[in-house]
A and B are shown apart, each in its own frame.
Chain A
Amino acid sequence: MTWTDPFRSWRSPTNVPAAFARAAGVLCLTACVATGGGKSETTPIAEGQIVEAGDGSVSPGVVDVTPEGTDSSLYVEPLPLRPIPADIDIGERPSLETDEAGLWMQMDRAERQLATSGKRIRDPELESYITGIVCDLANQYCGDVRVYLVRTPIFNATMAPNGVMQVWSGLLLRAQDEAQLAAVLGHEIAHYLRRHSIKRFRDIRSKLTGLAVFRIAAAVFGVAPVGDVAALGMMGSIQSYSRDHERESDFMGQNLMVESGYDPMAASELWAQLNRERARMEEIDPDKKSPRSVFFASHPPSEEREENLRLRAEAFAQSGVEGRRGREDYIAALGEWREVFLRDELELGEYAQSEALLEILVDSRPEDGALRYFQGELYRARSQDGDADLALAAYAEAAELGYTEAGLYRGWGLTALKNGDNAAGVAALKTYLDLAPEAPDAGMIQFMIGSADATS
């Protein structure tokens, strides 16, 4: 094991070099991945299992940041602040005969598949922006981490043992600034630096051996259901082991943020925002307990993370650490992708969640016409009593805020037509066609205009 101190010159909260605190001027050139959810644990496939296809699940060995319960014998204390050493050399590759090399080999295969997957966002500019943040955070390890942006509207990021980091679009949509994104990227880098994948793999391997023995006994003695219960218990034990890794990564990731000159409070804020999104969603639709994201099922732990990261950020602040947020840079870097991600979010059909998320985003950026437009699109899609009026109001607000994309007039026109206001509907759809004469649905929109004209 090599002891590389990611803190370099920094040793304790009372000895923070000024350069460390003022790295704000440095342009971030790196990005990594964070996690939180879709498919929960990426446990190995047991024999004879029916594998669900196309679920976006990852291969064994990918560490995912889904938080779970709080009990643990290896509980990591948030305070006092302390450096966490890296556990892997720069440019290190495991030697061929090790179990770790096997894991890497498998992830190299997965990487080739990911590289050409339709889910991958292939935009050199956005990729280089996020890779830049990752490189900054990972520092000397920059060359060991490879970032893949994944178009999945779920708050999540993953880190594989070979340094392949996935950043899901649901995370990119939710982060409000570069610092918040860096919190997750730092967390994922920490998984890599601490070799969490192989540790977890070994843990699962030893626990599953015990399980197999138990199952045989259960089968022989005709108590199969007990075997199943044992399996669930074993999974609980594996998850508790991984929770310790999550805490460690949270703290180490926050350390990396500080070192790169980001405001460490952003890490806590991101969790706070997710907690708020969940709470608001449950308020809007009490029947929605835990939707698609496992993240949301883990209510108390995400509050624990928010709290621990806040305590640490306050301690950093007391020792004189300040940091930058990179808010406008971040929104600018997302560019047109932000609207693609908003569209994908709405297409989930999880309207309570989308409504909660949009409220939070609008709160934070009230001047942003695009967000109002997507609120309109949400109401148009939900289409319950009163939603048409809400949609029309949101479209009008978007226009007032200076939003001029053609899609606004498409949504506006279709909603007006549905509301029986043919004149306004036809006018808006004509504006849409003026702005986007080559739109792939131009033929259909012409037809809608024609039908509305015929009936008015």
Chain B
Amino acid sequence: MDTFRGVARLSAMIAVALVVAACQTTSMNRTDTLTTLEDDVTVIVMPADVQLVELTAGGLEEPNAQWTADATGYIHESLKSSFDDLGLTYQVLDLDTLSEQERLQEEELGKLHRAVGASIIVHRFLQVIQVRGSVLVQPKLPVMGDKFDFSLGDQVSVIRDHSGADYALFLFVKDQYSSAGRVALNVVAALLGAPVRGGSQVGYASLVDLRSGELVWFNLLARQTGDLRKAETAPETVAELLSNFPSKTTTAQ
């Protein structure tokens, strides 16, 4: 499960990896300091970070460029129609329009966003982590409890100033599919009573208030269903990622 390898690397002292929710088959939501968006707000969509991989019979993760390119397109299409339903104008940040200085600031922001995402996932969703070689089970933070209080600081202004938007939506998805060989092996293994782990879908979406820097909404998806490879099934995943997305006070139809 190297889905969270990037997360793990975020801090040299932590080693993660066992299973987020490999046993979870439904999506999980963690929301809320905010359930509604003001009228007239604009949300800019950051370029989605998408990766589709195939799990070979031997358990090797094989990244698939074609699937990834297709899925990225489907996700943005589905997002657009979700935004239409929410009465929001759909606008994606085009990195090419940033000046070099803005690009550097955007990168810094991205790094902090990943660190914040990692903190949320590590402390709210992971079952087991290692810290300095010690195993921690359900490493929840008692002081934080269910409070949701994260910020990206003042540097969000780079996106606000560039786009004029009030919020930014970040999206990350990694999808794993079993290869035909893997599926066959799975059947044999199941018959013999020695299960082989199948595919999985892990992703998160987060909404950042560009005026305050605060993360106002975060949604984690970790399940063993979902298919981003096809135009017909991709919207279901996007809908799951956006479930409980704050609606506007008066939703335009």
Contact = CB atoms under 8 A, between A and B. Distances in A.
Whether A and B touch directly in their complex, counting CB atoms under 8 A apart, is answered as yes
A147 to B, nearest CB: 20
Given A209-B181, A216-B196, A220-B194, A53 B11 contact: yes
Contacts of A53: 8-16
Contact of B1 (A47, A103, A113, A206): A47
Interface string B217-231: 000000000000000
A99 interface: yes
Contacts of A96: 65-66, 69
B60 A220 contact: no
A220 B66 contact: no
Contact of A207 (B9, B58, B185, B194): B58
B21 to A, nearest CB: 14
B57 interface: yes
Nearest to B12: A54
B192 A220 contact: yes
A205 interface: yes
Contacts of A48: 1, 18-19, 197
A101 B65 contact: yes
B197 A210 contact: no
Contacts, number: 110
B195 to A, nearest CB: 9
B59 interface: yes
A106 interface: yes
Interface string A189-227: 000000000000100111111111100100110000000
Name the residue among B15, B63, B193 with the largest chain A CB count within 10 angstroms.
Answer: B63
Contact of A60 (B6, B17, B61, B130): B61
Interface string B188-207: 11001110110000000000
A103 B107 CA distance: 24
A50 B65 contact: no
B18 A50 contact: yes
Contacts of A104: 65
A49 B11 CA distance: 18
A45 B63 contact: no
A238 to B, nearest CB: 11
Please classify how large the interface on chain A is, using the bins under 10, 10 to 19, 20 to 34, 35 or more.
Answer: 35 or more
A96 B1 CA distance: 25
Contacts of B8: 51, 53
Nearest to B104: A116
Contacts of B162: none
B84 interface: no
A44 B65 contact: no
B161 to A, nearest CB: 22
B155 interface: no
B69 A50 contact: no
B146 interface: no
A456 B80 CA distance: 78
Contacts of B2: 45, 49, 51
B interface secondary structure, majority: mixed
Interface string A94-129: 101111011111100100010010000000000000
A50 B17 contact: yes
A102 B65 contact: yes
A385 interface: no
A237 to B, nearest CB: 13
A305 B206 CA distance: 52
A336 interface: no
A201 B16 CA distance: 25
Nearest to A55: B12
Contacts of B196: 212, 216
A105 B72 CA distance: 13
Given A48-B19, A212-B57, A99 B62 contact: yes
A109 B50 CA distance: 10
Interface string A32-68: 0000000000001111111111100000100000000
B64 interface: yes
Interface in B48-101: 51, 53-54, 56-66, 68-69
Nearest to A116: B107
A49 B17 contact: yes
B9 A54 contact: yes
A216 B194 CA distance: 6
Nearest to A102: B63
Contacts of B69: 96
A205 B58 CA distance: 7
B66 A101 contact: yes
A211 B59 CA distance: 9
Contact of A219 (B13, B51, B194): B194
Interface of B: 1-2, 5-6, 8-19, 51, 53-54, 56-66, 68-69, 107, 111, 130, 181, 185, 188-189, 192-194, 196-197
18 contacts: A45-B61, A49-B2, A49-B17, A51-B16, A53-B8, A53-B12, A53-B15, A54-B9, A60-B60, A60-B61, A94-B65, A105-B68, A106-B51, A207-B58, A210-B58, A213-B185, A216-B192, A216-B194
> Which 7 pairs of residues, A with B, have the shortest CB-CB distance?
A208-B58, A54-B12, A101-B65, A102-B63, A209-B58, A45-B2, A106-B63
Given A47-B1, A99-B62, A105-B64, 20 more contacts: A47-B59, A48-B1, A48-B18, A53-B10, A53-B14, A54-B13, A97-B66, A106-B51, A109-B51, A116-B111, A204-B60, A205-B62, A206-B58, A208-B57, A209-B57, A213-B57, A216-B185, A216-B189, A216-B196, A219-B194
